[in-house]
Chains A and B, each alone.
Chain A
């Protein structure tokens, strides 16, 4: 379709269709990007309400609001919705919006498939959410759905869960194929791979991870389906199967999956920090290699989630060493961001604030990750709130903050209007305080011995749980400021320039704000940044 559209002159204004069909039939990368982002925001609030239900129950010891079986449904659905419904679609939304504009293409390479990969999602998640109303309740076996709790002992709704996971997997794989096809085929003439913005690079690597591991997830849920309905015994020891096999297959998917949720975040932050430091990104080449090494390593560390299942000593040592190794490329990235800021000329607009918080808080999550890698110590941390603190530090002030940063950073480009800076900063500070008040005490709870996924706890855990609950409500409600800010930006924000930010750099900023419906109808000429380029311009 690319060639057809390119014959239409840009003054012709080939605009979107009118009404609902614009969104149902759209093959436009910006429309689909918007759909993904709105869908993700919705899921973020639904998953967030579940998190607040959990925190409300944990406000005090004893059972007050919900019963254990519903509590388990909430923890399970919260995890699944945040991972598959909020974080992943948000990054796909950003990819849809930004990759064609960043590489100088008119649209994504496979626009019809793009439409399909989005429209599968609302159906998958409606089905998943509908399990809450079914007899026996929603899935209650944790987002990691370990067998046999998720097979022999699962509620009947597990079958719907399996089907929903299949649909999400198809959607992700198609999205990933589209990203790869676009990046490899549709770059502006002259743009080599090593000239691509880091957001494009990290997404390219993420897309390969997705294609590699989503089939593994599909495989493991299919094995579950067979065990439940067709009399096989993959995970049932009584029939010659092995429950630990489930964990190996699941985490072979699951560990790359956590990098799927963080690599695009690295890309976003690597775009934003240079802009507001008015200085080129330090160590571009090492950033690319570090991202690739993290991706490769992610395939050989999976059993660090399983240190307590009784691995042989050699296995335990192998997975401990490989896991510790991940700290090296991750460290390189953090050092590069800091070196980019060093001797820059910094300003602190909302996207920069979120990015700075990302660097600090993600690194704290990295530190606890390093501690968890030490297998003998992991025996004390495993399945406690220390782990909960760890992965929420990398996912909330990590992935979610980077998504917020990206939204504020590119919102003026998308809408042609500036958002309200004061409100953005208020949103940032409340989120920052809320996140830390919620998740920092969880480190203490875990070390003091509180297991995760329990609806009620011993009395010595009461104080920090109460603190965490306050933080969670603060964080949750501050996100409404974001929604208000986005709406008022679209409706009545000040007009934005094409460049938007003083230090911005890259092809997307050469387009007007908002950009034309078909981004680059003619290939732009790409000029390599001069070696001593000064972003301040």
Chain B
């Protein structure tokens, strides 16, 4: 058979072993495990319905293929000149032609019925118990729990060293994030999707949810997961340089664990507040700024601040870094409209903002003044 359907043990990917392959100057771990060939059934009612549709249409195709290719190979074998076959003279048959027009129509209609039912079910977005706004950014996701004070960014957690083959790749290489989306089991959760810059697409195969996040528009989708677990996905719409590096991780918790997590978010917020009020030395800001820079800025402006000519301006040696910090702060906080430069005021805490701006102004031989957390905090209040 063409596809052998393999049950996946759990949703985490499975690896049976690992070998290192040294090939010239580079190496990458060879994973000798997953020859997964089919869709997963997933973790929701909808995803199982989709899986069943997929299998039905697949088997229909297999049956048609066996018949059509069967006749074809029969002819190739028996009706070849080398076997002495003489060509027949027929070249049309109204009845046969009508039959093979009508039969496919019947098959298609029988396929369209369950497909429409599932689709209608997917479009029923009523009576959600929790609304989460998902915003795509180049190249991370932002999750805002509506009517709750939870709002955070979620970006790739795989270290750069693994990507450029200087470290052995981890089990969830490119499918791990710093802060996963957390949702409770058994509740209907509505996702409101939009984007801050270009079109992204939020896709988690186990939930059978794939919906485009489009700037200026809000799309809706929903899910209800039965089992706690960790479900991984990726951005599905080409969104620029790091399109391949903006994974999605959904952590589904039992309602009790979910409540604990919600409470934890409130105390985290408080801690952040406190750290903004303490006094930060320049050295502390520089250390923190370097980490923030690597996570949020280096994708475009590059680790050494050299940028990419013609697309992303260089920061190293830039006049902006030496001039009055006001303009520099303004660009980082509020972005530059009409370019790829995003507004970071909402993405980063005042401490991180002050740290990264200070870092950019002093790293790579730049000689600008430091900025303080208070300076940023005041600007943000305005």
CA distance A308 to B13 in the complex (A): 26
State the Cβ distance, B134 to closest chain A Cβ, in Å.
13
Q: A310-B217, A456-B163 are in contact. Are A380 and B210 (CB under 8 A)?
A: yes
A377 touches B217 (CB 8 A): no
Is the Cβ of B210 less than 8 Å from the Cβ of A453?
no
Contacts of B68 in A (CB 8 A): 334-335, 338, 363
Interface check A447, CB cutoff 8 A: yes
- CB < 8 Å neighbour of B105 from A309, A328, A343, A377: A328
Residues of A within 8 A of B173 (CB): 61, 458-459
Number of residues from A at the complex interface, CB < 8 A: 106
Interface residues in B231-249 by Cβ distance below 8 A to A read 233-245
Could you tell me if A309 and B212 are in contact, using CB atoms closer than 8 angstroms? yes
Residue of B nearest to A152 (CB): B338
A186 CB-CB contact with B under 8 Å: no
A515 adjacent to chain B (CB < 8 Å): no
* Given A62-B26, A360-B72, residue A451 in contact with residue B87 (CB < 8 A): no
B198/A148 in contact, CB under 8 A? yes
CB <8 Å contact, A383 and B87: no
Known A-B contacts A279-B91, A460-B33, A532-B89; A382 and B65 likewise in contact (beta carbons under 8 Å) = no
Digitize B177-208: 1 where CB-to-A-CB distance is under 8 Å, 0 elsewhere: 00000000000000000000111010101001
Query: Which residue in B50, B197, B208 is a CB contact (below 8 Å) of A153?
Result: B197
A216 within 8 Å of B (CB atoms):
no
Q: Indicate if A243 sits at the interface (CB-CB under 8 A).
A: yes
A438 to chain B, nearest CB (A): 16
Contact in complex: B163, A328 (CB < 8 Å):
no
Docked complex Cα distance between A342 and B76 (Å) = 8
Q: Is A170 located at the chain interface by the 8 A CB criterion?
A: no
Q: Which of B39, B76, B104, B203 contacts A451 (CB 8 A)?
A: B203
Closest residue of chain A to B42 (Cβ to Cβ) is A380
Tell me, yes or no, whether A449 is within 8 Å of chain B by CB.
yes
Interface residue? B356 (CB, 8 A): no
- At the interface, yes or no: B211 with Cβ under 8 Å from chain A? yes
Contact with A along B90-107 (1 / 0, CB 8 A): 111100110011001100
A149 near B238 with CB under 8 A, answer: yes
Q: Flag if A341 contacts B72 (CB, 8 Å).
A: yes
- A379-391 vs B, CB cutoff 8 Å, 1 = contact: the mask equals 1101110000000
A111 in the interface (beta carbon within 8 A):
no
- The answer, among B21, B71, B201, B240, for a CB contact under 8 Å with A308, is B201
What is the bound-complex CA distance between A185 and B7, given in angstroms?
Answer: 62
Asked, given contacts A309-B212, A379-B209, whether A371 binds B75 with beta carbons under 8 Å apart, the answer is no
Asked if A444 meets B119 with Cβ closer than 8 Å, knowing A136-B309, A237-B216, A459-B15, the reply is: no
Q: Does B81 contact A (CB under 8 A)?
A: yes
Is B57 part of the contact surface with A, judged by Cβ < 8 Å?
Answer: yes
A471 CA to B31 CA, complexed, in Å: 20
* Contact in complex: A455, B244 (CB < 8 Å): yes
CB distance from B119 to the nearest CB of A (A): 5
How many CB-defined contacts (below 8 Å) exist between A and B?
Answer: 329
Is B34 part of the binding interface, using a Cβ–Cβ cutoff of 8 Å? Answer: yes
Which of the 9-residue segments A45-53, A296-304, A317-325, A392-400 touches chain B? A317-325
Interface pair A61/B119, CB less than 8 Å apart:
no
Judge whether B91 and A456 touch: CB under 8 Å. no
- Bound CA span A375–B112, Å: 10
CB within 8 Å of A: which B130-159 residues: 138
| Contacting pair B87 A343 (CB below 8 A) | yes
B269 at the interface (CB under 8 A from A): no
User: For the complex, what is the distance from the CA of A341 to the CA of B208, rounded to whole Å?
Assistant: 43
A451 to B97, alpha carbons, bound, how many Å? 40
Are A152 and B339 in contact, CB atoms less than 8 angstroms apart? Answer: yes
- Asked, given contacts A342-B79, A371-B54, whether A383 binds B35 with beta carbons under 8 Å apart, the answer is no
Q: How far is the CA of A282 from the CA of B85 in the complex (A)?
A: 18
Do A317 and B116 touch (CB < 8 A)?
A: yes
B120 within 8 A of A: yes
Interface residues in B303-343 (C-beta closer than 8 Å to A): 308-311, 337-340
**A462–B30 touching, CB < 8 Å:** yes
Is B255 part of the binding interface, using a Cβ–Cβ cutoff of 8 Å? no
Q: Contact: A380 with B235, CB < 8 Å?
A: no
Q: Is B282 an interface residue (CB 8 A)?
A: no
Mark interface residues in B219-239 (1 if CB within 8 Å of A CB, else 0). Answer: 110000000000001111111
In the bound complex, do residue B339 and residue A380 qualify as a contact, i.e. CB atoms below 8 Å apart? no
* Closest partner residue, chain B, to A306 (CB atom): B212
A142 engages B108 (CB within 8 Å): no
A463 interface contact, C-beta 8 A: yes
B115 touches A377 (CB 8 A): yes
- Return chain B residues, CB-CB under 8 Å to A285: 92
Q: How distant is the Cα of A345 from the Cα of B310 in the complex, in angstroms?
A: 63
- Contacting pair A309 B214 (CB below 8 A): yes
Is there an interface contact between A320 and B219, defined as CB atoms closer than 8 Å? no
Interface membership of A423, Cβ < 8 A: no
A68 interface hit (Cβ, 8 Å): yes
Let me know if A344 is at the binding interface, CB within 8 A.
yes
- Among A322-362, those with CB < 8 Å from B are 324-325, 327-328, 331-332, 334-335, 338-348, 356, 359-360
Q: Which of chain A's residues have a CB closer than 8 A to the CB of B30?
A: 60, 462
A141 with B13: CB separation less than 8 A: no
B244 contacts A370, C-beta separation under 8 Å:
no
Taking the nearest CB of chain B, how far is it from the CB of A454, in angstroms?
Answer: 3
Structural contact, B87 and A345, CB atoms closer than 8 A: yes
**Closest B residue by C-beta to A463:** B35
B174 within 8 A of A: yes
- Shortest CB distance A194–B (Å): 13
CB–CB A456/B244 < 8 A:
yes
A191 contacts the other chain (Cβ, under 8 Å)?
no
Q: Which of A286, A458, A535 has the most CB of B within 10 A?
A: A458
Contact partner of A534 (CB less than 8 A), chosen from B87, B210, B238, B308, is: B87
- Which residues of the other chain, A, contact B120 by a CB distance below 8 angstroms? 313
Whether the Cβ atoms of A460 and B119 lie closer than 8 Å is no
Contacts of B169 in A (CB 8 A): 61-62, 459
CA distance A227 to B107 in the complex (A): 46
Q: Return the CB mask of A454-481 against B: 1 if under 8 Å, else 0.
A: 1111111111100000000000000000
Question: Is A448 an interface position by the 8 A CB rule?
Answer: yes
Q: How many Å lie between the Cα of A72 and that of B311 in the bound state? A: 14
Beyond A68-B245, A286-B97, 17 additional contacts (C-beta under 8 Å) are: A62-B26, A69-B241, A136-B309, A149-B238, A152-B198, A238-B216, A243-B199, A243-B214, A244-B217, A283-B93, A320-B116, A320-B119, A332-B97, A374-B57, A377-B53, A444-B35, A444-B36
Interface residues of A (CB under 8 A from B): 60-64, 68-69, 72, 134-137, 140-142, 146, 148-149, 152-153, 155-156, 236-238, 242-244, 277-286, 308-310, 313, 316-317, 320-321, 324-325, 327-328, 331-332, 334-335, 338-348, 356, 359-360, 363-364, 367, 370-371, 374-377, 379-380, 382-384, 443-444, 447-449, 451-464, 532-536
